[in-house]
Amino acid sequence: MSKLQQEFIQFSVDAGVLRFGEFITKAGRKSPYFFNAGLFNDGATLGKLADFYAQALLDSGVEFDMLFGPAYKGITLAAATSVALAGKGRNAPFAYNRKEAKDHGEGGTTVGAKLQGRVVIVDDVISAGTSVGESVEIIRAAGATPCAVLIALDRMERSGKDEALSANSAVQEVSKLYNMPVIPIANLNDLMGYLSGSGAGAELAQYKDAVAAYRQKYGVA
């Protein structure tokens, strides 16, 4: 686990975005932890989150020209990450889509910079890959090239229902389907490393076995 990943997990815990206990995921699984990026909901936390996104993207070495934020969460994330990148000396334009086409003014379904070149899709997590697929279609229709997906946390879980689990995670399936990397700021392995370290403290370390059991049951190889 890198310093960036460790600091991101600690930041997520401090902000109440990463919580431990008993939660039901979108897939209907009983999970010992829950990550809700929607709770990064003030200027200070959003600014810090964007800094993590920007640094993870730069550290990845992926070559890109601009950012795209799928409606709705991705809109704020892409805009904030663009600001953070500018603060690091990389002035990258961004765009986002509307859920419904606008028939007046500038019209169309996208807002912001013209989609062109190599485009990074910025979102919070990948659950089923639906928003990524929609984003890829929009970007390709504009003549641009989707080159990566940037997310906050990779849960590294096998996709599908319990009775028909896939061998791959949604992140792996998206990466394979669209032939591009998915760049997480941190993943489940980093989370396990955090819970095993001294920084977590006894209050959170107690969840290490539960998270390990969850990874054993649902985690990808």
CA–CA distance, 123 with 131 (Å, rounded to integer): 9
Residue type, 114: K
Residue showing tokens 């090239």: 145
CA distance 164 to 206: 31
Catalytic residue set:
102, 104
Do residues 82 and 67 make contact, with C-beta atoms less than 8 angstroms apart? Answer: yes
CA angle 124, 57, 186 (to 5 degrees): 55
199 vs 185: CA distance, rounded Å: 18
CA atoms within 13 A on the CB side of 128: 8
CA distance 204 to 182: 28
Q: Which of 177, 156, 76, 167 is nearest to 122 (CA)?
A: 76
